[in-house]
Amino acid sequence: MDSSSSVTKLLIDWGKGDRKALDEMLPLVYEELRKLAAHYLRQERSGHTLQTTALVHEAYLRLVDQKSVNWKNRAQFLGLAAEMMRRILVNHARDRATAKRGGKAQRVSLSVAADLSGQPDLDLIALDEALKELSQLDPRKSRIVELKFFGGMTTEEIEEVMQISSSTVEREWGLARAWLFRAVTGNQ
């Protein structure tokens, strides 16, 4: 059984209440979670106070607290992990901005977004607000952005998680990027 199948089986067992499955799964997904966290932190400002291990552990703790998730596969788990990491970083940015007594929001380098914005830096808080607005207008596009942009997932992985075709993923991704560009930059 390959690693992906093993993780899927363990997730399903965990979802059925087998706590031992969770303990067996962690070593199988830990390196992927570290890569995901490192991907996020590379996009952050230098000197960021969160470290890769701390981000992984915080996200993992939030994941294991999920009681109502009907686990289906590894890609779904990693997609939710990506969402958790984004929330942790956004909350960290908000806390930092608050600590500066209304100072400017944290600037975050998002190399993946270079074509989205034409600028190397985006405001993570503004992007999060725009994503919230997009999720109200079109939850599927918002989820694709989370998985691709923040989770670093491929089109094929998103196709698997969301049960939609790769052409739909690509089309929705393009439309979502354009919408987010307008929302974050104020260009209409």
Instruction: Give strand pairing partners of 123.
Output: 107
Position 98 scores a pLDDT of 66
Question: Measured between alpha carbons, how far is 62 from 171 in angstroms, rounded to an integer?
Answer: 31
Nearest to 81 by CA among 35, 126, 45: 35
Position 136 scores a pLDDT of 93
* Amino acid in the structure at residue 126: A
Q: What pTM value is reported for the model?
A: 0.59
**Cα R_g (the chain), whole angstroms:** 17
Question: Measured between alpha carbons, how far is 143 from 146 in angstroms, rounded to an integer?
Answer: 5
- E-assigned strand segments in the chain: 107-109, 121-123
Number of helices (H), then strands (E), in the chain: 9, 2
Note down pLDDT in tens along the chain; length 188 residues: 667 788 889 888 888 888 898 889 888 888 888 888 887 777 776 666 778 888 888 888 888 777 677 888 888 888 888 888 888 888 887 777 666 544 444 444 344 344 444 443 456 778 888 888 999 999 999 989 888 877 778 898 888 888 899 999 999 999 998 898 888 887 65
CA 21 to chain centre: 24
* Amino acid in the structure at residue 10: L
What is the residue extent of each domain of the chain?
Answer: 3-185
105, 110, 116, 120 alpha-carbon torsion, rounded to 10°: 80
8, 84, 153, 121 alpha-carbon torsion, rounded to 10°: -170
Position 106 scores a pLDDT of 43
CA atoms within 13 A of residue 46's CA, in its CB half-sphere: 0
